Amino acid sequence: MTIRAYNKSETDLAGIMALLEELRGSKEAERFSFYLQDSNTYKTSYLTTKGFYRLVALVDGKVAGFIIGEHYLNDTVNLVMLYVGKDYRKQGIAFELKKVLTHLAQAWGYKKIVSQVRMNNLESIKLNLKSGWHQEIDKVYPDYYYWFSKELTDGTGFSPE
Ligand SMILES: CC(C)(COP(=O)(O)OP(=O)(O)OC[C@H]1O[C@@H](n2cnc3c(N)ncnc32)[C@H](O)[C@@H]1OP(=O)(O)O)[C@@H](O)C(=O)NCCC(=O)NCCS
């Protein structure tokens, strides 16, 4: 498995579009708001505009999963989306995607990375706990998301251009 930045090539775009198509056809779609499943939102925003950090995981040259973080606050990255294709699960891909994004955020000077997870998304909750994220049990938003966060201890502050 290789993890690298999303490179805006046709292959990367088609790979992510195929994973979104898989998501939309699955029961897991219930976990996500409409805009997180909508290809157009990715084409016009998450995959093209500044302020989003995108990584893909490749297996045999195919996009097996992806992760997108956003510049959220001056010192914080928010995890927007993480998806691993059904044929590629339970191989540690999501764990690695999270680890690499976390290390990059730290290297860029962010002090914190956060994510919101549906309370019934047990895989994701376990993944976050395994990745050393802290569950902020007093923060449930709006009433069906858990907040998770991880402090990035070596952050030196960050100012977006
Ligand atoms: C959640 C998801 C990203 C996990 O991807 P993955 O590559 O299969 O996960 P990994 O192989 O890296 O698993 C790492 C850890 O996550 C947890 N985990 C992953 N899948 C799990 C499952 N089906 N049941 C229980 N725990 C699970 C485990 O703690 C696992 O560690 P372990 O293998 O030592 O038990 C994937 O199932 C997915 O894309 N789901 C749909 C989209 C989604 O819910 N995204 C997250 C939104 S916040």
Question: From the CB of 75, is ligand 1 less than 6 Å away?
Answer: no
Residues 140, 147: contact at Cβ < 8 Å?
yes
Nearest protein CA to atom 12 of ligand 1, as residue = 92
Strands of the sheet containing 52-59, edge to edge, are 2-5, 52-59, 62-73, 76-84, 112-118, 145-151, 134-140
Strand partners, 54: 68
Question: From the CB of 38, is ligand 1 less than 6 Å away?
Answer: no
Q: Is the peptide bond before 160 cis (omega within 30 degrees of 0)?
A: no
Backbone φ and ψ of 98, nearest 5°: -65, -40
What distance in angstroms lies between residue 137's CA and the mean position of ligand 1's atoms?
Answer: 20
* pLDDT tens for each residue of 92-117: 999 999 999 999 999 999 999 999 99
* pLDDT tens for each residue of 122-135: 999 999 999 999 99
Q: Answer yes or no: pTM beyond 0.85.
A: yes
The superfamily CATH assigns to domain 2-151 is: Gcn5-related N-acetyltransferase (GNAT) (3.40.630.30)
